[in-house]
Amino acid sequence: MPEIVYGYSQKSNKTFEKLVDDDHVVINHIVMPKGDGLPDHITNSNVYLLITKGELTVKFENKDVRAYSAGQLVHIPFRVQMNMSNNADLPAEFFVLKTPNPRYIQEKL
């Protein structure tokens, strides 16, 4: 069979799992409890956030703050400063898709 099946955790506590890391895409699965977050960073590829549960707050360039909820897919371009947090009561669950793989971009720079 040609397919590869990837699994991910089904839990509500803090989770970070790298599911796929190949030349074309990196896919991470993250569960962020209330009050948790990721520090400021600059996107190292084209980033797509697929929110599957709860609400995720993203602050862009230290000024614009937006909240995204389950059922939304958000594209954040290469080299954008951002941070993510969960300010809602329920855990936020989302997938981070980076394309192409950041190591591919680094090789081309």
- Quickly state the pLDDT bin for 109 (edges 50, 70, 90): low
SS3 state at 5: coil
Q: Per the domain annotation, does 77 fall within a domain? A: yes
What is the average pLDDT across 2-9? 95
Q: Per the domain annotation, does 8 fall within a domain? A: no
pTM of the predicted protein model: 0.93
Q: Per the domain annotation, does 11 fall within a domain? A: no
Residues ≥6 apart with Cβ < 8 Å to 3: none
* Residue 108 confidence (pLDDT): 67
> Structurally, how many domains does the chain consist of?
1
- Six token digits for residue 94: 């989302």
CATH code for the domain of 71: 2.60.120.10
Please check the confidence at residue 106 and state whether its pLDDT lies above 80.
no
* Residue 104 confidence (pLDDT): 85
Mean pLDDT of the chain: 95
How far apart are alpha carbons 83 and 59 in whole angstroms? Answer: 5
Angle at 64 between CA 60 and CA 13, to 5 degrees: 60
What is the average pLDDT across 81-108? 92
Q: Identify the domain containing residue 89 by its residue range.
A: 16-108
* Residue 36 confidence (pLDDT): 97
Residues ≥6 apart with Cβ < 8 Å to 103: none
Task: Give me the DSSP letters along 18-61.
Answer: EEEESSS-EEEEEEE-TT-EEEEEE-SSEEEEEEEESEEEEEET
Strand partners, 73: 50
